[in-house]
Amino acid sequence: MFALRRAALPTMSLARGYASSGNVSALLLVEHKDNKIAASTLNALTAASGLGGSVTALVAGSAPDTVVAEVSKLAGVSKVLVAKDAAFAHTLPESHASLLVETQKKHGFTHLIAAHSAFGKNVLPRAAALLDVAQISDITAIEGADTFVRPIYAGNAIATVKSNDSIKVITVRGTAFPAAGHQDAAAPHEDAPAVGQKDQSEFVSEHMQKSDRPELDSATRVIAGGRGMKSGENFGLLYDMADKIGAAVGASRAAVDAGYVDNSLQIGQTGKIVAPELYVAVGISGAIQHLAGMKDSKTIVAINKDPEAPIFQVADYGLVADLFTAVPELTKKL
């Protein structure tokens, strides 16, 4: 709860201030997998609602009925457009971008919005180019219907940009907006326009990391390991601690490159961006690119044997110690 309040204050108060201007109609591209809405879509919905106008949700899939029913009950959704077609069985970009363009041509939205997830990043710029408009990527705040805040240079500078295009195409940083809740009455749904464009690519296979722990991007507690972990087996120490406090486990690029853990666990400029209540960095030096992915965490703890490690400059609490003794001791005492 605390996380939601904290995130809500800066963005939502500004957004509400704008709400009176009207004339905004946003289209939200819903991401889903295995009949579940992606958590980041709920954050993007809050951003879309913050623009002050209506929000229409677009759900594309080969069998999207379950997701459509859920989306129609999300707070702030006034209508759901449904594109049911075998072409949308996977998240391939050509058909999805084309669907966005056709939907835009028919309904004339002022804003096209998606989460800044792998899916949103893949599809939205393609649609923006087809509509001949710019995209504003990874926004962290809304200052008006055409003015947005976004980090650049790995989060080391914060840009406020104004779009001069008629349609604003936007991807949203999930951790900067709270997740949308539910509403009582289900929003109505109707069919989205048909799409002629077929995917030129074909889906071959996927390999997803299975885990019972919370998802990295939405976890309230995250424990991350770096090169100092020395091996993949040693990550067991972090899993033990994570399981004790219900945390997700992440990693620095060094740990991923060394093969200790899967790429999908990487936190940083080019990996996941997280902003949990508690971030524990273990054996991570704190390179600029890593800090980009976690420095908005509420409380940062660093455990490192090098007192000069840059991570200590951003850590609220630093413990200079050998992680191989400190982490088991910490796990025991939690």
Of residues 183 through 242, those in contact with another protein by CB under 8 A are 199-209, 215, 217, 221
Annotation-wise, does 253 bind a ligand?
Answer: yes
Closest by CA position to 293, among listed 242, 246, 244, 256: 256
Euclidean distance between CA atoms 285 and 308, whole angstroms: 9
Euclidean distance between CA atoms 221 and 282, whole angstroms: 14
According to DSSP, the β-strands at 141-144 and 147-152 are antiparallel
Stretch touching another protein by CB under 8 A, among 13-21, 61-69, 74-82, 143-151: 143-151
Q: Contact 46/179 with Cβ under 8 angstroms?
A: yes
> With contacts defined by CB under 8 A, how many residues of the chain interact with another protein?
93
Euclidean distance between CA atoms 64 and 140, whole angstroms: 29
Q: Which residues pair with 170 in a beta bridge?
A: 113, 136
Alpha helices in 284-322 (DSSP H): 288-291
Euclidean distance between CA atoms 216 and 40, whole angstroms: 11
Among 126, 227, 230, 305, which residue sits at the site for another protein (rule: CB under 8 A)? 126
Closest by CA position to 282, among listed 262, 246, 308, 311: 311
Q: Which is nearer to another protein, 79 or 298 (CB)?
A: 298
Stretch touching another protein by CB under 8 A, among 16-24, 75-83, 162-170, 181-189: 162-170
Among 125, 186, 213, 232, which residue sits at the site for another protein (rule: CB under 8 A)? 125
Among 55, 99, 127, 281, which residue sits at the site for another protein (rule: CB under 8 A)? 127
Q: Which is nearer to another protein, 111 or 150 (CB)?
A: 150
Q: Contact 24/145 with Cβ under 8 angstroms?
A: yes
Annotation-wise, does 267 bind a ligand?
Answer: yes
Annotation-wise, does 236 bind a ligand?
Answer: no
- Confirm or reject binding of residue 133 to another protein (CB under 8 A): yes
Provide the minimum distance between the beta carbon of 189 and another protein in the complex, in angstroms, as a whole number: 26
Annotation-wise, does 304 bind a ligand?
Answer: yes
Q: Which of residues 257-316 bind another protein (CB under 8 A)?
A: 257, 262-264, 269-270, 272, 277-278, 288-289, 295, 298-301, 307, 312-316
Whole-angstrom Cα Rg for the chain: 21
Q: Which is nearer to another protein, 65 or 166 (CB)?
A: 166
Q: Contact 31/119 with Cβ under 8 angstroms?
A: yes
Q: Which is nearer to another protein, 23 or 200 (CB)?
A: 200
Provide the minimum distance between the beta carbon of 329 and another protein in the complex, in angstroms, as a whole number: 5
Q: Which structure tokens are listed for 171?
A: 């991807």
Closest by CA position to 50, among listed 69, 75, 68, 33: 75
Provide the minimum distance between the beta carbon of 44 and another protein in the complex, in angstroms, as a whole number: 14
Q: Which of residues 24-53 bind another protein (CB under 8 A)?
A: 38
> What three-state secondary structure class fits 183?
coil
- Confirm or reject binding of residue 164 to another protein (CB under 8 A): yes
Annotation-wise, does 170 bind a ligand?
Answer: no
Q: Which of residues 48-67 bind another protein (CB under 8 A)?
A: none
Q: Which of residues 85-104 bind another protein (CB under 8 A)?
A: 90-94, 97
Provide the minimum distance between the beta carbon of 61 and another protein in the complex, in angstroms, as a whole number: 16
Q: Is 96 exposed, middle or buried (0-12, 13-18, 19+ CB in 10 A)?
A: buried
A 10 A CB-CB count for 218 gives 18
- Binding-site residue set for FAD: 227, 252-253, 266-270, 283-290, 304
- Extract the annotated binding site: 227, 252-253, 266-270, 283-290, 304
